Amino acid sequence: MKKTEITNELKVKVNDFISFINILSHQDFEKSVNNKWSPGQQLEHVYLSTKPIEKLFLLPKLLLHVLYGRPKRPSRSYNEIVRDYQKSLISGGKAPSKFMPKHTTINEKERVLNQLNHVVNKLVYKFSQKSEEELDDIFLPHPLLGKVTLRELYLFNIYHILHHHNKTEENLAKVN
């Protein structure tokens, strides 16, 4: 997937998720089903796991190469990223504790929605400043996928938002 397709798809997925969260009642926003994350917690998790990416842009490319090496393979496709992430989840992969949401109340909804929207807009901008070549020339750590290229990280975020949007809908459908 090319840079413009990735940024467009990321914006669509986050806007769809935000729109879905916005139509939930106060009760549904905080509703946990079978000890699964509530929609508010799903929202907070998506924000918590997206925010650290913006800090990576503060580091010079040379330092990233020293810390994580340079890719010696082409970037994986969206479908390959999805497959590898799903394999990791099936194998027991979980979000690291720093990405675990607390109980998110309706009073925190607007703040978290605004934070997620703000960070995604920054990421879209920063991503657009990179060349197609740079997207495949930078390795970064991912807790479940190992080292990923910058392109793969954005492809993962597209799927990650969709994954949590779908989980939220599935959980709510079990009680409504």
Backbone angles phi, psi at 86, to 5 degrees: -65, -40
Is it the case that residue 56 has pLDDT exceeding 70? yes
Amino acid, single-letter form, for residue 36: K
Confidence band (pLDDT; 50, 70, 90) for 176? low
Which domains are assigned to the chain? Answer: 3-173 (1.20.120.450)
Of 9-13, 57-61, 76-80, minimum mean pLDDT range: 57-61
Q: Model's pTM, two decimal places? A: 0.94
Distance CA 64, CA 101 (A): 28
Q: What is the pLDDT of residue 34?
A: 83
Distance CA 31, CA 39 (A): 7
Confidence band (pLDDT; 50, 70, 90) for 64? very high
Longest Cα separation, the chain: 52
Average pLDDT in the chain: 94
Residue with tokens 């979980």: 94
Confidence band (pLDDT; 50, 70, 90) for 17? very high
